[in-house]
Amino acid sequence: MKVVVTGAGGMLGTALVPALEAVGHEVLPLTEQDADVRDLTALRYPLTAFHPDWVVNLAAYTRVDDAETHADAAYLVNALGARNVALAAAESGAAVLHLSTDYVFAGDTRSPRREYDAAVPRTVYGVSKRAGELAVAEVHARHLIVRTAWLYGRGGHNFVDTILRKSRAGESIAVVDDQHGSPTWTRDLAAQLIRLMASSQFGTYHVTSSGECSWHEFASHLLALAGLPPPSRTDSAAFARPAPRPAYSVLSNLLAEYVTGRRMPTWQDAIERYLQESRSS
């Protein structure tokens, strides 16, 4: 199988490209410098030349707070860019996989969100990502839209590495306990994305680690595994930001796990394996 990956230089791309190659797929990784998703013409040439079976769109404007005052910049990547990738994929005869986010939901419930629950984003970032989902579904029937949340891994700034770095530097750490989600290792997400692509059962799916915790619970578990002091506890009011964070970001993995036949690892198992890999590298 031949796969184009846009946004390949990011954290998930760093995990997905080698995972695809490891199972025998031919991959064309595209960074923003190679093909800007905002430019449909720039996307058409590499896809036409490569003749992919799949195009995976990981390109995204993810600066959640900046999006509140730079809405056009967020929309150009997250909505128009997603539409362009889907159009270029359709023109080249490829299916498309588009990555989305828990931010398409309001985060004001206390039960895991399913794929067809009402999307009611509360931030510009979330609205722009929802617009991208709708655009992909509108222009390309052979699509996978995969929502995920709370990612960490190599190749980008993330909560895990930041907490470890600050703790090892002797900084005091306060972590919120009123936001709940499912911390997800990019390597586990990449493996499930490949299984979904192999299924060719198109539609919308949720993929995160199994289980849920607060950021404080996650940080406490992480630091205990690393033999470092626990963080103090605080709440979201202490970290006022332009864009409100969802209080409850847990997504139901039921549909993806049914289709692939593979249950996602727990967040506790995932972080232990991530730390083991980090120590051995």
Domains of the chain as residue ranges with CATH:
2-157+183-210+251-265 (3.40.50.720)
Q: Is the pLDDT of residue 269 over 90?
A: yes
Question: Which residues, in sequence order, are bridge partners of residue 223?
Answer: none
Tens-digit pLDDT profile for residues 122-149 = 999 999 999 999 999 999 999 999 999 9
Residue 230 class from Cβ within 10 Å (0-12 exposed, 13-18 middle, 19+ buried)?
middle
Q: Is the pLDDT of residue 278 over 90?
A: no
Rounded Cα distance, 153 and 57, in Å: 18
85: nearest Cα among 47, 49, 34? 47
Tens-digit pLDDT profile for residues 80-101 = 999 999 999 999 999 999 999 9
The beta strands (E) that lie in the chain are given as 2-6, 26-30, 54-57, 95-101, 143-148, 151-152, 174-176, 180-181, 184-185, 203-206, 213-214, 232-234
Catalytic residues: 125
Which residues contact residue 147 at a Cβ distance below 8 angstroms, ignoring those fewer than 6 apart? 99, 100, 101, 102, 104, 115, 204, 205, 206, 207, 251
Rounded Cα distance, 46 and 34, in Å: 9
Tens-digit pLDDT profile for residues 26-84 = 999 999 999 999 999 999 999 999 999 999 999 999 999 999 999 999 999 999 999 99
Average pLDDT, the chain: 96
Which residues contact residue 228 at a Cβ distance below 8 angstroms, ignoring those fewer than 6 apart? 164, 167, 168
